[in-house]
Amino acid sequence: MMEVWRRPGVTRRFLVRVRRGAPPGVGALAWVAHRITGLVLLGYLFLHLYTLGSILQGPAPFDTAMALMAQPAVRLLELGLVWVVLFHAFNGIRLIVLHLIPAASQRALACAVGAATVVVGLASLPLFLP
Amino acid sequence: MGEADAAVNDTRTALPAAGIGAWLGLYLTGMFLVVFVPAHLWVLHYASVGPISARAVAERLRTPFFQVLDLGLFAVALSHGLLGLRRVLLDFEGLGPRVQRTIPWVLLLVGAAIFAWGVQILRAFLRVAGM
């Protein structure tokens, strides 16, 4: 609990090793995907706030913005976002499990994350299909 | 375990990058979001019918329950996102201790400004609701 400083440069060391031809395992791939989806979700949070911010110009501009959100193309992007959220959430649970049980199988946990993302993603399709 | 795994293996169980508080904050807000983001999506895509309108959102936000829930969810999601960004930024080598120490404060200021923006948006909805 005392040693809370991690050596920085995880991203660089990962890229160097991949460039050298070392195949990344499931744990490393999940780590990369978690980071990318996390940044995507932070970007979306700002976009979400930006579109909601149209209410500052009054109800009519807000309703116009929401009509745009109801377009099939935007709904399709939203569907993609749901899968990004699901992966990030299930992989986050994986990280907590790994922290509590360090000896847990990387492969089994990664498979569980993939399976949960696909199953819940497919089950929630009717809610989000354009 | 492959060689590339070794590079990220220390994120498996090590308490990452400077500060048990930030680490705990990331995990606790994450656990909160796992429950409340699906609830948020459920309310907006299942429990409510028809297109989203300013009137409908304002009507829902009349109740203190949704005011606290929405603002709380926003605060937690924003904190989680900025704590995650902090981790990404602190992973860059060669920043120097001064820059490293500054990053959390910059993120805190940015977060406070964005939260204030969110509060303004909530107030705009309450005005639409005639409150």
Query: In which domain, by residue range, is A94 found?
Result: 10-128
Average pLDDT, chain A: 89
- Average of per-residue pLDDT across B92-108: 87
pLDDT, greater one: B22 or A86: A86
Question: How much is the pLDDT for B14?
Answer: 45
For chain A, count helices (H), then strands (E).
Answer: 6, 0
Contact list, B110 vs chain A (CB under 8 Å): none
**At what angle are helices A72-100 and A59-69 packed, to 10 degrees?**
80
> Is A44 domain-assigned?
yes
pTM: 0.89
Question: How much is the pLDDT for A115?
Answer: 96
Residue B25 near chain A (CB below 8 Å): no
Domains and CATH numbers, chain B: 3-128 (1.20.1300)
Confidence of residue B1 (pLDDT cuts 50, 70, 90): very low
**CB atoms A27 and B18 under 8 Å:** no
Residue B118 near chain A (CB below 8 Å): yes
User: Which residues 16-45 of A are in CB contact (within 8 Å) with B?
Assistant: 16-18, 20, 22-25, 27-28, 31-32, 35, 38-39, 41-42, 45
pLDDT digits (tens, 9 = 90+) for A13-45: 888 888 998 888 888 888 899 999 999 999 999
User: Which residues 72-111 of A are in CB contact (within 8 Å) with B?
Assistant: 82, 85, 89, 92-93, 96, 98-99, 102, 106
- Average of per-residue pLDDT across B99-127: 94
Q: How far is CA A54 from the centre of its chain?
A: 26
Contact list, A93 vs chain B (CB under 8 Å): 34
- Total domains, chain A: 1
Task: Give me the CATH number covering residue A87.
Answer: 1.20.1300.10
Token look-up 């409340």 returns B36
Question: How much is the pLDDT for A24?
Answer: 83
Question: How much is the pLDDT for B4?
Answer: 54
